[in-house]
A and B are shown apart, each in its own frame.
Chain A
Amino acid sequence: MTAIGKKRRSTFSILGQLAILVFGVAAPFLFPAYTFQIAMLWIMILFALTWDIMGGQMGYNSLGNILFFGAGMYISAVVQIAIVYDVAEYTAAFGAIKIDFTTAQYFTGFALGVIMAGLGCAIFAAIFGSMVFGLRGPYFAIGTLGVALAAGELVGGWDYVGGGSGISMPVYPGDVQPRALFFYFLCFISAIATFMFLKWVYSGRFKTTINAIRDDEEKAEAMGIHTTRYKVVAWGIAAFFLGISGAIFGNMIGFIEPLEVAFPTITLGIFMVVMSLLGGKGTLWGPVLGATLFHLFKEVTWIYLLGWQWVALGTLIIVNVVFFQQGILGWAQDKWPEWFGIVVDEKMSAEQETAREAAQ
């Protein structure tokens, strides 16, 4: 029974991954007008997946994860400019300086920027983590929200990175169409990379340990688990991928500023929570499903229900948290437990099983 359940699950998982890969590669060619929207879908999936590491798997509901998205964006911007020009002069000119980056300069700077964004955010997470991991439950949520809100304001007042007027990103050396495809595929690859990495870390000790921290942190400590170490690493992973997505997004948009683009705490920052809850937090596929449905719902209502779009979104959130608290996958797991391998093993015992195998 378990074997069948497992087999069926892995068949679904493989089919799902194949479908996503085919769709991801074909989408910008099939629906060229929607390339940007579909690129945003991959970013949303990445958001939901990274939020779920802490919020779903570890039980630490962070409302400030958007911090790393914005930080990654700014780190990459500064790195990309700094390799050919003085950052302070560049930002002080409010976009009046047009530097012609050579193709080599642009891509070197971009690659370096993305890597530094990921690593820098992981280090940020370790530093902030040591400050806020003493907080539990709602206090942790509010504490992280405060850090993200403050980050937006602080960057807005920091002239070196352009303050409230933001930074015009280096211009992509190429035509509009290849540029759109370039950034589309970067968004796609980063979401897939996040998924594959999480699939790997969720298959072993890391997942069971952070689940233990979620369900009973005191008991986990009593069993001698390195709780602090796991918490810092979990947030570091989320920050690493969010930083990379921020770097890619900033370059895709072409212009970054602190409040609406880099640290949109009350929109994207909250959406990542809602998407995980919708799909089913604490599962690998839940955030993917939730982000896809949420993004579709949002794009459709923004087009066909304009004026009422926020009301529609609010209704979706209320229906979700009142009637489907475990999200779509959590609900499915309750309804068809045997699909998820939750069964009584009919075998009497390990010894008898071995004896029977020996007899055959």
Chain B
Amino acid sequence: MTSMIEVSGVSKRFGGVVANNQISLSVPSGRITGLIGPNGSGKTTLFNSIVGFHPIDEGSITFEGKEISKLRVPQIARLGLLRTFQQTRIYGKMNCMDNMMISVPQRRMPLSRMFVKFSAEMLERAEAILEFVGLYQKRYLPAGSLSFGQQKLLEFAMALINEPKILLLDEPTAGINPTLINGLIDRLRRANEEFGITLFVIEHNMRVIMNLADNIYCLAHGEMLAHGNPGDIQNDKRVIDAYLGAH
């Protein structure tokens, strides 16, 4: 089992606050890995460090064996490491198809390709992915007019058309109604199995993450608390204490 992302000894401080302290983890290729922890435990900070949103204070992050901790956000994204945001970010004024077209990958794009029209093939692919997430009928509506749950699905569809090797999802089910959650879990799993995209998921909903992930890391107070398969994590006393606040 090769690892796709290897985080070793990463620390990140904001002034006096230690958001991540000596975090090490590895995300195995082709699998679904979960990241849990109470609010403020440093999960999103770790995501931001991995995608190059801010520099890390110490440690190293490698992606497919390549050191990426010094690279900038767009460079890392072009390597095939993509993230979605906790506060869903889509282009509200544009319609869904335009949102999809923006996300067509730009890796190894020569200068002359800046002005090309979108090919029929690319439009078809966008429609197919929108259909996959269930937004086909709304594809010409401004994305801002969709419900919050649908916007999350659109953001997920945008990530898919970018053909990432790995997708970092920050709370994909937050704010979505329970019926839609089942559909989303199903689609995440299919993205993993059918498109071969490795997933690394932050999630608060225990039912979701226990169903979805093969192995789970748990953070608390910026430290790595536990690691194991869903069964181990569910029965780990330290994890339960961290969530219930017995510290």
The segment out of B22-30, B88-96, B215-223 that lies at the interface is: B88-96
Most interface-central of B89, B95, B113, B138 (chain A CB within 10 A): B89
| CB-CB under 8 A for A223 and B94, given A216-B89, A230-B114, A350-B131 | no
Q: Mark A1-41, 1 if CB is under 8 A from B, else 0.
A: 01000000000000000000000000000000000000000
**A134 within 8 Å of B (CB atoms):** no
Task: Specify which of B51, B114, B118, B137 is in contact with A345 (CB 8 Å cutoff).
Answer: B137
> Smallest CB–CB gap between B194 and chain A, Å?
16
A residues in contact with B109, CB < 8 Å: 226
**Contact at A221–B136, with CB atoms within 8 Å?**
no
| CB-CB under 8 A for A349 and B137, given A206-B114, A222-B83, A225-B106 | yes
Within 8 A of B (CB), among A218-243: 218-227, 229-230, 233
A residues in contact with B138, CB < 8 Å: 344-345
Interface size class of A (residues with CB under 8 A): 35 or more
B residues in contact with A288, CB < 8 Å: none
B residues in contact with A86, CB < 8 Å: none
In the complex, A224 Cα to B101 Cα: how many Å? 13
**B141 within 8 Å of A (CB atoms):** yes
**Contact at A204–B115, with CB atoms within 8 Å?**
yes
In the complex, A227 Cα to B115 Cα: how many Å? 14
**B116 within 8 Å of A (CB atoms):** yes
In the complex, A307 Cα to B157 Cα: how many Å? 59
**Contact at B117–A205, with CB atoms within 8 Å?**
yes
In the complex, A208 Cα to B101 Cα: how many Å? 7
**A175 within 8 Å of B (CB atoms):** no
Task: Specify which of A203, A215, A343, A350 is in contact with B94 (CB 8 Å cutoff).
Answer: A215
Task: Specify which of B102, B117, B140 is in contact with A209 (CB 8 Å cutoff).
Answer: B102
Residue of B with least CB distance to A224? B77
**B78 within 8 Å of A (CB atoms):** yes
> Smallest CB–CB gap between A9 and chain B, Å?
13
**A133 within 8 Å of B (CB atoms):** no
A residues in contact with B98, CB < 8 Å: 208, 211
**Contact at B136–A349, with CB atoms within 8 Å?**
yes
B residues in contact with A205, CB < 8 Å: 101, 104, 113-118
In the complex, A201 Cα to B140 Cα: how many Å? 21
**Contact at A223–B141, with CB atoms within 8 Å?**
no
**Contact at B141–A221, with CB atoms within 8 Å?**
no
Within 8 A of B (CB), among A188-219: 200-201, 203-206, 208-209, 211-212, 215-216, 218-219
Chain A's interface: helix, strand, loop or mixed, by majority? Answer: helix
> Smallest CB–CB gap between B109 and chain A, Å?
7
**B127 within 8 Å of A (CB atoms):** yes
| CB-CB under 8 A for A344 and B137, given A204-B118, A219-B85, A223-B158 | yes
**A341 within 8 Å of B (CB atoms):** yes
A residues in contact with B91, CB < 8 Å: 211-212, 215-216, 219
**B105 within 8 Å of A (CB atoms):** yes
How many chain B residues touch A (Cβ–Cβ < 8 Å)?
44
B residues in contact with A211, CB < 8 Å: 91, 93-94, 98, 102
> Smallest CB–CB gap between A266 and chain B, Å?
31
**A351 within 8 Å of B (CB atoms):** yes
Within 8 A of B (CB), among A271-288: none
> Smallest CB–CB gap between B68 and chain A, Å?
13
**A347 within 8 Å of B (CB atoms):** yes
A residues in contact with B102, CB < 8 Å: 208-209, 211-212, 220, 223, 225
**Contact at B140–A345, with CB atoms within 8 Å?**
yes
Residue of A with least CB distance to B128? A350
In the complex, A215 Cα to B101 Cα: how many Å? 15
**A127 within 8 Å of B (CB atoms):** no
**B149 within 8 Å of A (CB atoms):** no
Within 8 A of B (CB), among A70-92: none
Q: Mark A171-194, 1 if CB is under 8 A from B, else 0.
A: 000000000000000000000000
**Contact at B131–A225, with CB atoms within 8 Å?**
no
In the complex, A209 Cα to B109 Cα: how many Å? 13
Task: Specify which of B73, B101, B118 is in contact with A222 (CB 8 Å cutoff).
Answer: B73
A-B contact pairs, 16 of them (CB 8 A): A204-B116, A206-B114, A211-B91, A211-B94, A212-B102, A215-B92, A215-B93, A218-B73, A219-B90, A221-B73, A222-B77, A344-B140, A345-B140, A346-B137, A350-B131, A350-B136
Excluding A211-B91, A222-B85, A223-B102, 10 further A-B contacts by CB distance (< 8 Å) are: A205-B113, A221-B77, A222-B83, A224-B74, A225-B102, A229-B111, A230-B114, A345-B136, A349-B131, A350-B128
List residues of chain A with CB under 8 Å of any chain B CB: 2, 200-201, 203-206, 208-209, 211-212, 215-216, 218-227, 229-230, 233, 341-351
